[in-house]
Chain A
């Protein structure tokens, strides 16, 4: 297999899948998280349960889903819950180990913006908003963020607007946080990590061929670097084969 032809989606999916060792219940969206969790089910976490925002728990789809509510996720699934049950009992009830989120902007504390670029009252770009992201952040034990493009417009010193706050902002608001917030940010340049409240994201690994200077230049704040900085292991042949031949043979998300 030609390692040089590995796409960034394949790299991100493989790296994210390895982070799911030992996790039981994962809240995932469509796209890269689907690939990561599907690969983890075939490698490091065979019994992992995927929960979707639409209410589906334990999906066994016959086709790759196009949305979190795709009919192929419902037919043959283990349970379909109403919205109050999914958000109230599962999420707020504290049943989720790892939530996967994306965002337009993330800051050094792992707070996320998915609402607007610019001023909320007169935005340059109106983004979709929270959906369930705020609840995933507030209630999951930890959150993984996948950012396709690591650049200073996405990893920013100051969010234009905070949609989904991490535990540090919750504390400042006088409310005890429940989870650790964002613990891993997987980008096309490397992996940033933090353990929980009071910690900022630091660079813990770079992809092969990527320098620390490159990552720092692409980050909108003065990015801290871990002492024990490592290089990300590229996808193995087995991981690539599973992704390409089994998980997403039509390359819907493996762009």
Chain B
């Protein structure tokens, strides 16, 4: 956990580093790693680097466990998954995840099931260092029966009708490390996101350490010209990695579009375990870093995913005369 007194001015330090260094320093075997980003801004490149470095026995927390989760599982990195949706977006199935859960082959995957708001409340409790968080979900669901961490309590206050009220609660989630992808940050980690902002800020605040991967590291003045767009302030960030294209096949609003072809292809690649391992060998273990992966994707793919311009109107923050 951060000790603001012990760290020398953690807000302004230059935290930029390489992906290799960030993963080597902050992701250790057996750690709980949150990867967030809801369809948008998925930290795929960070997931690939975890596979390259051969991390083991990780607990992965990810609301919408999707392609990068399937890849991490197939890469032998994951012992346990904590999630609220395990599917390949609207494009088919996650072959490795389904094999592990349905057949236990090549080894079983521990799975902890929540609903989306259950996961959100776990991050909210984690970020605020609260012992639990209440929510109006799970009443009558079978999910608490298979996840004993979802518990029911009696509210200390009477309900609207004056009677005692029962409510389900979830425990805090405090990942050892949270990794998120964003459009841009300054060198200290003031991170700006537009479009879907998801649960990234809460997941970062809940973490003991946080890595932010961005399309661009920008000058301090760029961030300070529009502070409302800073979703994650530098004081919550430990490492900043510049990695253009790092969310592929997911999209980054204003930078590139979702690679629907790849999402559809993944159902076929992941269906056959040998084909999946060959894919990992070629595209992840066989590339030195994400720049090589992108070069391998080729200009044609990048062109296909290019987006046009749709600028927002500038806002006037004003200044004292």
Contact = CB atoms under 8 A, between A and B. Distances in A.
A220 B63 CA distance: 33
Contact of B197 (A30, A80, A120, A135): A80
B139 A170 contact: yes
Given A84-B124, A120-B146, A126-B102, A71 B141 contact: no
Interface stretch (B14-22, B176-184, B251-259, B289-297): B251-259
Interface in A62-112: 66-71, 74-76, 80, 82-84, 87-88, 91-92, 111
Interface stretch (B72-80, B110-118, B213-221, B266-274): B110-118
Main secondary structure of the interface of A (DSSP, over half): loop
Chain B CB within 10 Å, residue with most, of A75, A115, A129: A129
A218 interface: no
B318 to A, nearest CB: 24
A120 B146 CA distance: 8
A132 B141 contact: no
A163 B84 contact: no
A133 interface: yes
Contacts of A125: 98, 102
Nearest to B250: A69
B253 A71 contact: yes
B173 interface: no
Interface string A158-169: 000111111011
Contacts of B196: 54-56, 69, 74, 80
Interface size class of A (residues with CB under 8 A): 35 or more
Contacts of B139: 138, 165, 169-170, 173, 175, 177
B258 A67 contact: yes
A83 B165 CA distance: 26
A215 to B, nearest CB: 27
B212 to A, nearest CB: 17
B140 interface: yes
A9 interface: no
A68 B116 contact: no
A98 B79 CA distance: 39
Contacts of A84: 120, 124, 199, 202
A55 B136 contact: no
A164 B118 CA distance: 13
Nearest to A139: B136
B90 A123 contact: no
Contacts of B310: 75-76
Interface string A164-189: 11101111111111100000000000
B86 A71 contact: no
A129 B141 contact: no
B195 interface: yes
Nearest to A91: B117
Nearest to A128: B87
A142 interface: no
A126 B96 CA distance: 11
Interface in A114-171: 115, 120-121, 123-135, 138-139, 161-166, 168-171
B89 A67 contact: yes
B101 interface: yes
B162 to A, nearest CB: 13
B258 A70 contact: yes
A166 to B, nearest CB: 7
**Shortest beta-carbon contacts, A-B, top 6:** A169-B140, A165-B140, A69-B39, A128-B87, A175-B139, A170-B139
Given A67-B90, A84-B124, A115-B143, 7 more contacts: A67-B39, A129-B84, A130-B113, A134-B137, A134-B141, A170-B139, A176-B159
12 contacts: A67-B90, A68-B39, A76-B310, A83-B63, A84-B120, A84-B202, A87-B116, A87-B117, A125-B98, A129-B85, A163-B143, A165-B140
